[in-house]
Amino acid sequence: MQNHLLLQIILFFSITLVAQTPENETISPTTTKPNFILIVADDLGFADLGFNGSTQIKTPNIDVLAHTGVICTEGYVSAPVCSPSRAGLLTGINQVTYGYDNNIGGNQPGFDPQYLGLPVAQKTIAKKLKPLGYTSGLIGKWHLGEESQFHPLNRGFDEFWGYTGGGHDYFTSAIDGKGYQSPIECNYKTPKPITYITDDKGDECVAFIKRHQDDPFFLFASFNAPHAPMQATKEDLALYSHIKDSKRRTYAAMIHRLDVNVGKIMAAVANYGIKENTLIVFISDNGGPTNSNASINAPYNGQKGVLLEGGIHVPFIMNWPNRFKAGTIYTKPVSSLDIAPTFLELAGNKITEEDNFDGVNLVPYLLNKDTRLPHQELKWRFTISAAIRDGDWKLVRLPDRLPLLYHLPTDISEQHNVSLKHIDKTKELLQKLGNWDVGLPHPVFLEGAIWKQRQLSLYDEKYQLTQPNQE
């Protein structure tokens, strides 16, 4: 393990040397307030990173980010699909407490499209960082509403290069395009035609860091890789030509290109002299949709769209050389809801009850100054399903069967439902979950009803629970 870590660190420094700053550019001094970079992958399988055990897909840059920072092995998101997960992520508040427990799709009959997005009363990280002297930029995917009141430039972000929908073609767009062909929006320059969108996002992230290196900033690097459509460059496909399954081959190539661009961001903060004072967080917005992009969530059961571990247990890295010891492994449950309060307290904002955060500032926990659990309980509700994790126990409630109860330390892959064997624990968790559930507001919008049946069927699928071989 030590030799492996040494090789990863050597690789990181070799990468930064390749991307040196031009001679005529100055290196800025470290700012007092930390910079924040939030890197979010889209539909990434838990198993498909080197530091999580993958030998089939190579991710040297993300691995270095992990091994030189803190790996949170029990990292969760607040929803198993993109849009509500991102709503919770950017507000620090469990999105179902303000009616956001569906994915954004077309508006459904009986609902006002003016509410089809992140409620305007909810403040984002960017909005709350603004009075603290931060410049905030969003590069990439938004997926929190397309009406003007939901637009990122109206939600605290100063700069935006990207698209407001939930996905995009990797090679093309159209001036009057819709959906995956929508045009790239930008408020600080005229966007050039897309080359390969993962590369374009990486380049825009580096440019943002360069522009704002002298003052505190928040960069939301919102990648869509490896979300559909499944598209990779010929060069990257050639790197994985040995993988026989064509979809898995394309997926691996897309992850490779994501990793390359994470490397660009890492090199930029090093080259501009702000690495020590920059907190980088890397997560996926939900588990991999194994049935559509050939991702693998091993050793976790389930996938995107369900509340089994495979849908909500994600890669979770926090890297901050100025404060966090390299090689730290943190094994207590943490949540994407913790990111907002962590950033805000580090920026100098005192958290109060009025913030209504469901997350906590993770720094005291990661530094072992607070040895308690950051969260004794974590709760989820998503359309047809609800779940609670209480310590080592997790219960999932579905409409067509008895509750699912798992003891996670002895059943990490959720293969043994012990709800009848531990009936008292089942009753206890059902009551806790139910009391919380009935106090939640009605959804402010719904996705199409067809998705409910699809989600339910995913609980009956068989999932790969081990790493694949090289093939």
Q: What does the CA dihedral 67, 68, 73, 77 come to, rounded to 10 degrees? A: -120
> Among residues 67, 72, 82, 151, which one is catalytic?
82
Q: What are 122's two structure tokens?
A: 């909810």
Backbone angles phi, psi at 17, to 5 degrees: -70, -35
Q: Which two tokens stand for residue 255?
A: 């992850």
User: Is-catalytic flag, 82?
Assistant: yes
Total residues found in the chain within this entry: 471
H/E element holding 84? helix 82-91
| CB of 286 closer than 8 Å to CB of 312 | yes
Find tokens 């996926």 and name the residue: 284
Contacts of 25 (CB under 8 A, 6+ apart): 210
The answer to whether the beta carbons of residues 259 and 199 sit under 8 Å apart is no
3-state secondary structure of 422: coil
Parallel, antiparallel, or unpaired: how do β-strands 135-141 and 159-163 relate? parallel
Q: What SS3 class is residue 390?
A: strand
Q: Is 158 helix (H, G, I), strand (E, B) or coil?
A: coil
List, as one string, the DSSP characters of 10-78. HHHHHHHHHTPPPTTSPPPPPPSSPEEEEEEESS--TTSSGGGT-SSS--HHHHHHHHTSEEETTEE-S
Q: Which residues pair with 70 in a beta bridge?
A: 318, 328
143 is annotated as an active-site residue: yes
Quick one: tokens of 68? 């030189």
In the set 67, 72, 143, 205, the catalytic residue is: 143
Active site residues: 82, 143
